[in-house]
């Protein structure tokens, strides 16, 4: 990520809670991956922004091997106790990946773009290291279509977690995909119920900041999570 300090600080402080949350979603993640991503079992996969390794763990039995990247050492320490033998953990910046062009068959990033000042740089890097004809999976929370509702959601998310830059709407993500010449093969939206107190805990939001975030929280506690399966043009 191009401005890693707030992200590192936030996730270093809450690495254990992040790992617990990823574990809670693990089975649903595994089932969705099997359903929406077509795999042969021989792919070399990249999980960029792996956190505590949940997506990498879900991918591991479905592909040949996984390289899981994150910029936060504390999260990689959590992942180390979870990942199987065919997952390699690498500390690196998603906007400057230390890999050769076209070196992966599948590249993924999950719940990361809203922490990045310039998400287009992440997508450009993922596109660079993806082979022509390869598959990209992008997962992230979605902002509402209504601009005022989107502003209100982002105001809450930034109050809850200062490492949040902007939660994008579906139309914004599709624009980024088009800009990188990616072909959208399928997409779906999952709705997640969120307990507000747990959600605030997950960001380490305490004291006055917690009260402010609580006052800004949307009345609807459900979050919309977009899952996008894309293909890089070429053969």
pLDDT digits (tens, 9 = 90+) for 93-113: 999 999 999 999 999 999 999
Helices first, then strands: H and E counts in the chain: 9, 7
Lowest model confidence (mean pLDDT) among 12-21, 196-205, 216-225 = 12-21
Q: For the residues 5-29, what does the mean pLDDT come to?
A: 70
Helix, strand, or coil (residue 233):
coil
Contacts of 76 (CB under 8 A, 6+ apart): 50, 70, 89, 91
Domain boundaries, the chain: 4-145+164-198+222-232
Task: Write the burial class of residue 184 (CB in 10 Å: 0-12 exposed, 13-18 middle, 19+ buried).
Answer: middle
- Distance in angstroms (rounded) separating the CA atoms of residues 73 and 171: 33
Q: For the residues 177-206, what does the mean pLDDT come to?
A: 92
- Count CA atoms within 13 Å of residue 28 on its CB side: 10
- pLDDT score recorded for residue 3: 42
Helix, strand, or coil (residue 191):
strand
- pLDDT score recorded for residue 10: 63
Mean pLDDT of all residues belonging to the chain: 91
Instruction: Select the CATH number that applies to the domain covering 4-145+164-198+222-232 from these four: 3.40.50.2300, 1.10.3720.10, 1.10.167.10, 3.40.50.150.
Output: 3.40.50.150
Which percentage of the chain shows pLDDT scores above 90?
Answer: 72
Q: Which of 149, 167, 156 is nearest to 205 (CA)?
A: 156
- Distance in angstroms (rounded) separating the CA atoms of residues 141 and 119: 13
Residue 16 pLDDT more than 90?
A: no
pLDDT in tens, 111-162: 999 999 999 999 999 999 999 999 999 999 999 999 999 999 999 999 999 9
pLDDT in tens, 51-80: 888 899 999 999 999 999 999 898 899 889
Greater confidence (14 vs 197) lies with 197
Residue 30 pLDDT more than 60?
A: yes
Q: For the residues 191-195, what does the mean pLDDT come to?
A: 91
What is the CA angle 44-47-53, rounded to 5?
Answer: 120
Residue 1 pLDDT more than 60?
A: no
Compute the 3-state secondary structure of the chain and give helix, strand, coil in percent, each to the nearest 5: 45, 25, 30
- Distance in angstroms (rounded) separating the CA atoms of residues 171 and 187: 12
Which percentage of the chain shows pLDDT scores above 70?
Answer: 91
pLDDT-derived band at 164 (thresholds 50, 70, 90) equals: very high
């Amino acid at each position: 990520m191009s401005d890693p300090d707030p992200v590192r600080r936030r996730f270093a402080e809450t690495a254990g809670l992040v790992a617990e949350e990823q574990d809670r979603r693990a089975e649903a993640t595994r089932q969705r991956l099997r359903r929406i991503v077509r795999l042969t079992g021989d792919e070399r996969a990249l999980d960029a922004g792996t956190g505590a390794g949940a997506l990498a763990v879900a991918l591991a039995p479905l592909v040949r091997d996984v390289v899981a990247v994150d910029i936060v050492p504390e999260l990689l320490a959590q992942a180390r106790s979870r990942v199987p033998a065919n997952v390699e953990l690498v500390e690196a910046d998603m906007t400057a990946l230390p890999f050769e062009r076209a070196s992966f068959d599948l590249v993924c990033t999950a719940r990361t773009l809203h922490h990045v000042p310039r998400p287009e740089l992440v997508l450009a890097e993922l596109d660079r290291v993806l082979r022509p004809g390869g598959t990209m999976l992008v997962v992230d929370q979605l902002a509402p279509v209504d601009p005022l509702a989107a502003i209100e959601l982002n105001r809450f998310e930034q109050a809850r977690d200062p490492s949040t830059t902007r939660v994008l709407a579906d139309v914004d993500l599709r624009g980024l995909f088009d800009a990188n010449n990616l072909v959208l093969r399928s997409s779906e939206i999952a709705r997640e119920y969120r307990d507000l107190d747990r959600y605030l805990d997950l960001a380490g939001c305490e004291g006055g900041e917690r009260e402010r975030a609580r006052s800004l929280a949307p009345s609807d506690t459900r979050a919309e999570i977009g899952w996008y399966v894309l293909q890089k043009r070429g053969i």
